[in-house]
Amino acid sequence: MATATSLQHPRVRLYDQVRSVHLERARELEPAAIVFRSKRYDFDEDLTDGLELAQAGTIAAARLALTSRITHLEINEPLYLDALPRTAVTLFAIGLRRIVGGRRVTVATYAIENLDPFATTPPRFKTRVRRGIERLLAEYVWRRVDNAVFGTAGAHGLYAQSFRTQPRRHSTVEALPSPCPCVGDASDAGNSDSGNGDRNSVVFLGNFGARKGFSDVLAAWPLVRESRPDARLTLLGTGSQLDDARAAAAADPTITLHIDPPRSEIHAHLRTAHALVLPSRRMPGWREQVGLPIVEALAHGCEIVTTDETGIADWLREKRHRVLPSDASAARIAGAIAAAVDADRAKADILATLPAVDGRIAAGRLLFDDPAHPVAR
């Protein structure tokens, strides 16, 4: 990955952060350059082969916009405030290029935000000023969007409430996965029933932190063991509460810890797991949008235990997964985990509820499928 002075692809995805799942999806979408500010902790260098990637801050991204023959640009959603300045400056650069005779760029965004960042007034004057500037930038960016695809009905409603106008094209594609091709792979050592998983296996996947309800899972697990002594908990990830994860695994033989495992290992654990628990908690300025661990577990046919913070809570309820209030106690979480362990659905039954095409892939195809500037197939 080199520092680029211009981009080869006319289609560009401008992301604030990039992670392994972006690289995996890129192989199923129309070819496009990915311009990003930083890498997430789960970024896998092995997945970059054959992809055009450029790491660029605000000024560098604007320079790339000025020097590259961009026709389609996907940006972070306007209510993602951390990315706003970089997005706005890049769009301004594209506007300058248009003034001097460049082609108009079709701008698209994928939106899953479900918490209004402007709903409350910050107490500090400096923060209020910054929030006012962010509001202006969000309006500017949103007005420049030609095509928006919403990943949840909640996100669509939030944007309709937050802005007076809608892009000329907009649609909603539920952020649901398709079945992972690896499900049913019987090559896993020790997996005697790869089609249905291990009924006693529960997984926590993701960030070991308060907003993902990690402490609540650790508090609930002894209660699960009392009623389901054969149940086992596998912790996959890393985070600020890693020491708590280590201590729990050291003290309880039914808890296994795998720190920041590679993608192949995550898939292997989800293939054998019966349930995933992710009781997300709302934090100041943050709410679970969908939850990548939930999406990945569904793609492997797992029962889900989560809270109503996720943007697909209604769908999960409808499909008989366990959705708790966001303030659920450890006892309620334990009860939901036990119920998930007892659920007798086969993985195939859960997979049958999923769409044939991954929702994010379907949305990605719509983002660059512009009738005014059709993408070559």
Residues 313-340 have pLDDT tens digits of: 999 999 999 999 999 999 999 999 999 9
CATH number at 222 reads 3.40.50.2000
- Residues 276, 168 share a domain: no
- Residues 361, 316 share a domain: no
- Residues 15, 159 share a domain: yes
Write the pLDDT tens digit of every residue in 284-324: 889 999 999 999 999 999 999 999 999 999 999 999 999 99
Portion of the chain with pLDDT greater than 70, in percent: 93
Q: Is the pLDDT of residue 272 over 60?
A: yes
What's the CA gap between 219 and 257, in Å, rounded?
Answer: 16
- Residues 209, 74 share a domain: no
Q: Is the pLDDT of residue 375 over 60?
A: no
Asked if residue 373 is part of any domain, the answer here is no
What value does the mean pLDDT take over residues 48-63? 96
Q: Write down the mean pLDDT value for the chain.
A: 92
Range of the domain at 302: 201-351
Of the candidates 162, 140, 139, the one whose C-alpha atom is nearest the C-alpha of residue 150 is: 162
- Residues 79, 37 share a domain: yes
Planar angle of CA 57, 63, 68, nearest 5 degrees: 120
Which residues are bridge partners to 106 per DSSP?
A: 72
- Residues 69, 94 share a domain: yes
HSE, CB side, 13 Å, CA atoms: give it for residue 121: 2
Asked if residue 280 is part of any domain, the answer here is yes
pLDDT of residue 371: 56
Write the pLDDT tens digit of every residue in 122-159: 888 988 999 999 999 999 999 999 999 999 999 999 99
Query: Exposed, middle or buried by CB within 10 Å (0-12, 13-18, 19+), for 363?
Result: buried
Task: Give the E-state strand segments of 117-254 in sequence order.
Answer: 147-150, 169-172, 201-207, 232-238
Can you tell me whether residue 200 is helix, strand or coil? coil
Q: Would the pTM of this model clear 0.85, i.e. be above it?
A: yes
Provide the pLDDT confidence category of residue 3 given band limits of 50, 70 and 90.
Answer: low
pLDDT of residue 144: 97
- Residues 205, 165 share a domain: no
- Residues 152, 225 share a domain: no
Q: Is the pLDDT of residue 373 over 60?
A: no
pLDDT of residue 46: 87
What's the CA gap between 295 and 21, in Å, rounded?
Answer: 11
- Residues 281, 147 share a domain: no
- Residues 123, 236 share a domain: no
Planar angle of CA 8, 12, 14, nearest 5 degrees: 130
Asked if residue 376 is part of any domain, the answer here is no
Q: Is the pLDDT of residue 246 over 70?
A: yes
Provide the pLDDT confidence category of residue 33 given band limits of 50, 70 and 90.
Answer: very high
pLDDT of residue 101: 86
- Residues 342, 296 share a domain: yes
Write the pLDDT tens digit of every residue in 77-132: 999 999 999 999 999 999 999 998 888 999 999 999 999 999 988 888 988 999 99
- Residues 362, 346 share a domain: no
Query: In the chain, how many domains are there?
Result: 2
Q: Is the pLDDT of residue 23 over 80?
A: yes
Asked if residue 35 is part of any domain, the answer here is yes
Asked if residue 372 is part of any domain, the answer here is no
